[in-house]
Amino acid sequence: MIKNLWRCLPALVLTALPLTAPAPAAAAAAPVSAGGTPAALGMERAPAPASAVDAPLFQALAWIEEGPEGVRDGYSRTQFKHWNAGLIAGDGCDTRKEVILAEALLAPEVGAKCALTGGRWWSEYDQVWITSASSLDVDHMVPLAEAWDSGAASWTAARREAYANDQGAPNSLIAVSGSSNRSKADKDPADWLPVKADQCKYAADWVADKLRWKLTADPAERDALSLLAEDCPGTTVSYEQVP
């Protein structure tokens, strides 16, 4: 689809790099109750709309269906075919490399078979600069095992492949330091969060990815996200569901 082509645009070469972290975009404040707590945190859950733009985080969280996460029977990473050929056929870059290229703040040189040299990236999870593509991992915002527990176990192989290579939303896949990705592993927000400076954005991206793919959240995960919503009253969520 045309809207997915943003991942294929060449990364922008910057003539001067900032010495500080990229500034987060400002978000409008969400409405609060008389007691100061976001009013929708206690609201009954309603079916998620097919898409939303700048929905308050607490409202978007209320749209996620709650579901238990039991024994992880039948799961393996091979159930999610990745990384596939990417969006540009014949360019030598698989999905992982295309994400790395799209998120470069200083574009690397691209050699034969999509070998990457140089470049610079900002790793959101731990708020550090990365200057070598080999030090990056491409993380699934909602890990494959978590997706399996949250509904993907019943999907077709084709849908799981689409999920594992999703370049249709800005943060379904994200390039981060290898160390932060290994720390996160397959944990949900009840068991792992990035550094404090990234937690509001991380919560919004997590909720957006769950809504995009119609995945459930277990009670502990929902409680952790609710606490984040209280701490992030101006954070908003945008997403479009995959049919």
Q: Which residue carries 């034969």 as its tokens?
A: 112
Cα–Cα distance measured from residue 120 to residue 7, given in angstroms and rounded to the nearest whole number: 17
Is 27 domain-assigned? no
Structure tokens belonging to residue 46:
């309603």
pLDDT score recorded for residue 88 = 64
Structure tokens belonging to residue 33:
């109750």
Is 207 domain-assigned? yes
- Please check the confidence at residue 84 and state whether its pLDDT lies above 80: yes
Q: Which residues pair with 217 in a beta bridge?
A: 66
- Dihedral sign, Cα of residue 205, residue 65, residue 2, residue 181: positive
pLDDT score recorded for residue 92 = 82
How many Å is the Cα radius of gyration of the chain?
18
Q: What is the dihedral of CA 139, 145, 148, 151, to 10 degrees?
A: -70
Mean pLDDT for the stretch of residues 164-173: 95
Is 40 domain-assigned? no
Is 26 domain-assigned? no
The band of 46, judged by pLDDT with boundaries at 50, 70 and 90, is: confident
Is 68 domain-assigned? yes
The band of 73, judged by pLDDT with boundaries at 50, 70 and 90, is: confident
Mean pLDDT for the stretch of residues 209-222: 97
Give the E-state strand segments of the chain in sequence order: 51-56, 109-110, 116-117, 121-123, 128-130, 136-140, 173-177, 236-240
Cα–Cα distance measured from residue 39 to residue 29, given in angstroms and rounded to the nearest whole number: 13
- Please check the confidence at residue 27 and state whether its pLDDT lies above 60: no
- Please check the confidence at residue 179 and state whether its pLDDT lies above 70: yes
Structure tokens belonging to residue 173:
């896949």
pTM as predicted: 0.82
CB 232 within 8 A of CB 203: yes
Is 85 domain-assigned? yes
pLDDT score recorded for residue 205 = 98
The phi and psi torsions of 169 (rounded to 5 degrees) equal -140, 150
Q: Which of 144, 139, 215 lies closest to 183 in space, CA to CA?
A: 139
pLDDT score recorded for residue 89 = 59
Lowest model confidence (mean pLDDT) among 5-9, 98-102, 221-225, 227-231: 5-9
Is 77 domain-assigned? yes
Residue-wise pLDDT for 92-142, tens only, equals: 899 999 999 999 999 999 999 899 999 999 999 999 999 999 999 999 999
Is 43 domain-assigned? no
- Dihedral sign, Cα of residue 96, residue 102, residue 103, residue 106: positive
**73 lies in which domain range?**
52-240
- Please check the confidence at residue 5 and state whether its pLDDT lies above 80: no
Report the domain count for the chain: 1
- Please check the confidence at residue 11 and state whether its pLDDT lies above 50: no
